[in-house]
A and B are shown apart, each in its own frame.
Chain A
């Protein structure tokens, strides 16, 4: 695997194998596959990646990935503004959107509190969440972080911060066992839990 006939081939394989979950063997297979394609197809491939990086934006309101300054979920007039579902990252948005059961809006924290990984509350989009919540008196905030120790800590932290603001704090009652990540929860279960959410109580998620 270490002897490449071409420096160009080696460079491409190195780039691919730097991706998470891609080993040298897989990288070589992908690169050889691309080599066999028409130039136009490969151009489209690399173009899409460049545009993703250069042109995509982070929604100013909810931090979702978006083509515009404010994302299509936030600007959709048919979605409830006073119902905010808090998730860790874009995968949480996708998992919940796939259920087609949720008609509110999102807030992406950008991770969860984990000192072991050097992530503290100030590294997350918490201040902006609190600001948003101030503007929806009587509304509801759903805490939908993954049911891991770190997710629980973050839920709990947010709950304490939201205490005193005039909103209802709920959590999704999921039939997902401890340690399962939100994105792996099946759609039906997740869809049911987002409808049957329960008031947040310490230790109930």
Chain B
């Protein structure tokens, strides 16, 4: 199944736009502000019902209008064609429809048409807080394990209540150990599930990641991801929370548990964040995204659509060539690439035997520019 056509109405800088896409590689080139990234974001909306750039849906509505509509047509050899619509109207929220039928819950659509994005803002994963890295890991696990999200939601709610309880105890001066027991006992099964799922994920995805890094860098640099968790090597989760109580009473929040997990990135023993070049960092993150792609493919059997935004960002030509060689082979399928320069990408694709189509995007409107 691939996206054969996409249409945008009132989306970011687009009054309206329609693109017939190839099953293989699609290249969009043009100056900044022409709407290349916005086009990829529209595809992202069809997959996840949200933007990979801005958190507010309303901000994606073109100035002067009060709604946007993104439509996609999916084609495949043996299945029925599918029509997807994602619409956001000011004051009315968001609707996603499959073959004109509205989903009751947005979450029911997630996973139908998976995408993997590689974009300049991936560096949040490196430089942002630990929450960014947990979000990356959590969304990967949720893509094949529906129970995981339920555990995560229940766990987070319990932590919020436990933290509120700690504050309440401090204010009232009365410490009710009996209620804290209840919270800790309730946390345990969720914490155990989350931790086990993250450990299993690490085991499965790290080898894929190392392989992708080697392909991409063509060096013998050794990448590593180290999972930092209070739960590691701890056999009694209840005890973990109990032992933290005295500290928690002072801090007024829950200081241990999977909500505090982090993942540290290393390259040949050096921390990626502080002691590697921009090119190495970008390679590291790109390899992680490629690993994510293979992982989703392996777990769900579906071939995600790959979105490579600003493909030359911080990568030298050799590595872009390596990247293109990788994604022009199986198991990669449809790929959408953006670049500022004409011919740069197509010249590299010609070194492979993959077919491609090119789209030139013109600078459209002056007053509403969001792509970088």
- A residues contacting B by CB (< 8 A) are 113-116, 118, 120-121, 149-150, 152-153, 156-157, 160, 178, 202-203
Contacts and interface: CB of A to CB of B under 8 A. Distances in A.
The 10 A-B pairs with the shortest beta carbon distances in the complex, nearest first, are A115-B164, A115-B165, A149-B157, A116-B164, A115-B168, A156-B182, A157-B182, A115-B161, A116-B161, A153-B182
DSSP class of A's interface residues: helix, strand, loop or mixed?
A: helix
Nearest to B166: A115
Interface string B177-207: 0110111011001000000000000000000
Nearest to A113: B179
A20 B176 CA distance: 33
Interface of B: 150, 154, 157-158, 160-162, 164-165, 167-168, 176, 178-179, 181-183, 185-186, 189
Contacts of A153: 158, 161, 182-183, 186
Tell me the dominant secondary structure on chain B's binding face: helix
A113 B183 CA distance: 11
B311 to A, nearest CB: 42
B178 A149 contact: no
B64 to A, nearest CB: 26
A188 to B, nearest CB: 21
A104 to B, nearest CB: 26
Contacts of B182: 153, 156-157, 160
Nearest to B150: A178
26 contacts: A114-B161, A115-B162, A115-B165, A115-B167, A115-B168, A116-B160, A116-B161, A116-B164, A120-B168, A121-B176, A121-B179, A149-B154, A149-B158, A149-B161, A153-B161, A153-B182, A153-B183, A153-B186, A156-B185, A156-B186, A157-B178, A160-B178, A160-B182, A178-B150, A178-B154, A203-B186
Nearest to A152: B186
B169 to A, nearest CB: 9
A153 B176 CA distance: 14
B176 A202 contact: no
A202 B160 contact: no
Given A120-B176, A157-B179, A202 B164 contact: no
A118 B168 contact: yes
Given A115-B168, A160-B182, A178-B154, 17 more contacts: A113-B179, A115-B164, A115-B165, A115-B167, A116-B161, A120-B168, A120-B176, A149-B154, A149-B157, A149-B158, A150-B161, A157-B178, A157-B179, A157-B182, A160-B178, A178-B150, A202-B185
A157 B160 CA distance: 18
Contacts of B164: 114-116
Nearest to A179: B153
A113 B158 CA distance: 12
A163 B189 CA distance: 21
A178 B179 CA distance: 22
B179 A120 contact: yes
Nearest to A158: B182
Most buried by B among A150, A153, A157: A153
A114, A115, A121, A150: residue with the most chain B Cβ atoms closer than 10 Å: A115
A178 B153 CA distance: 11
A120 B162 CA distance: 12
Contacts of A160: 178, 181-182
A121 B168 CA distance: 12
A153 B150 CA distance: 16
Nearest to B164: A115
